[in-house]
Amino acid sequence: MIGIIGAMPVEVDGLTAILNEKQGEAVSGIVFYQGKISGVSCVVACCGPGKVNAAVCTQAMLMRYPVSLVINTGVAGGIGPGVRIGDLVVAEGVVQHDFDTSPLDGVKGLLPVLNEVVVPTDQAASDTLLQCARRVYDGNVTRGIVATGDQFISGGEQAAKIRGDFGADACEMEGGSIGQVCALNKIPFAVIRAISDHGDDEASVDFPAFASQAAQKSIELLKTALPLL
C-alpha cells in the first residue's frame, strides 16, 4: 500500500475524490482514506500545514496501515535557479532549514538520532516520479533538495539564505518532517512539489493565485506514476 500525504485540502482532494472502494477513518484528528487509485492500493491523508501535523500524520499512518512507500505531494516555493511557478520538483532529499543546534555542534540542520542533515528520498521511487514527470509534463522538472520549516517563506533574503545554507530548490512546510518520521521507521519516502511562488516578497500574492493549479500538477503526476511505483 502507498501512503499519500498532503498538507492542504487542495493538495489531496483530487486524489481522495477518485479513490475506489473508499473507506475513511479518523486517527489523531486526521482522516485517512483507503482505497485504490489507478488500480493501486493507497491511503490518503490531509495532515494540515507544518512539521508537527505532518509528523503526527506520518507516524499514525505508518502504525495503522501496511504502507511500503510514503509520498508527500503538494506545492512549494521555488528558490533554486531557474525554478519557476508551475515547475515540478522531485526531491532527492529533504532538510529542515529551521532545525538549528549549530551553537552546540557547528552544523545547521543536523538531525539528532538520524545524525544527518539531508534525509535522502527513495531513489527508485524518485527516479520513477522524475521519468514520469518528464514524460507527461511539458514544464520544467527538477530533481533537488526540498527545505522544510514551520514558516511560510515570503522574503527574498530569507529564501536566498535557505538556498545558500542547504542548496535547496524548493521550500515548504512538511516534507522534511515526513522524511524524518519515515527514516526513523525505515520506510521509503518521496516528495513531489509543484511550484506556486518563489518564497520572495511576492509569495503571499503568488501563493493564493497559483497554489490550486500547481497542486493539481502534482496530483496528475501521481495518478500516472502510481502504477509504476
Helix, strand, or coil (residue 61): helix
197 bridge partner residues: 77
Distance in Å, CB of 16 to ligand ADE, minimum: 20
Q: Which C-beta is closer to ligand ADE: that of 173 or that of 229?
A: 173
Q: Can you spell out the DSSP letters for 116-162?
A: BSSEEPPHHHHHHHHHHHHHH--S-EEEEEEEE-SS----HHHHHHH
Name the grid cell of 106: 557547528
Residue with cell string 501496511: 66
Among 42, 45, 62, 75, contact with ligand ADE (rule: CB under 6 A): 75
**CA proximity to 202, closest of 165, 168, 159, 172:** 159
d(CA 24, CA 34) in angstroms, rounded, equals 6
Task: Select which of 11, 122, 169, 172 is catalytic.
Answer: 11
- Which residue stretch of 97-105, 113-121, 129-137, 197-205 sits at the interface with ligand ADE (rule: CB under 6 A)? 197-205
Does 3 participate in binding ligand ADE (rule CB under 6 A)?
Answer: no
Residue 197 among the catalytic residues: yes
Cβ atoms of 94 and 176 closer than 8 Å: yes
Distance in Å, CB of 97 to ligand ADE, minimum: 10
Q: Can you spell out the DSSP letters for 1-54?
A: -EEEEESSHHHHHHHHTT-EEEEEEEETTEEEEEEEETTEEEEEEE--SSHHHH
Q: ∠ at Cα 71 (8, 59), nearest 5°?
A: 80
Task: Select which of 122, 197, 200, 206 is catalytic.
Answer: 197
Distance in Å, CB of 45 to ligand ADE, minimum: 18
Does 53 participate in binding ligand ADE (rule CB under 6 A)?
Answer: no
Q: Per-residue contact track with ligand ADE, 154 to 183, x per CB under 6 A?
A: x----------------xxx----------
Cβ atoms of 75 and 221 closer than 8 Å: no
Distance in Å, CB of 11 to ligand ADE, minimum: 10
Residue with cell string 530548490: 169
Does 87 participate in binding ligand ADE (rule CB under 6 A)?
Answer: no
Among 77, 109, 176, 188, contact with ligand ADE (rule: CB under 6 A): 77
Residue 138 among the catalytic residues: no
Q: Per-residue contact track with ligand ADE, 105 to 144, x per CB under 6 A?
A: ----------------------------------------
Distance in Å, CB of 17 to ligand ADE, minimum: 22
- Catalytic residue numbers, as ranges: 11, 197
Residues binding ligand ADE (CB under 6 A): 75-77, 152-154, 171-173, 196-197, 199, 203, 207
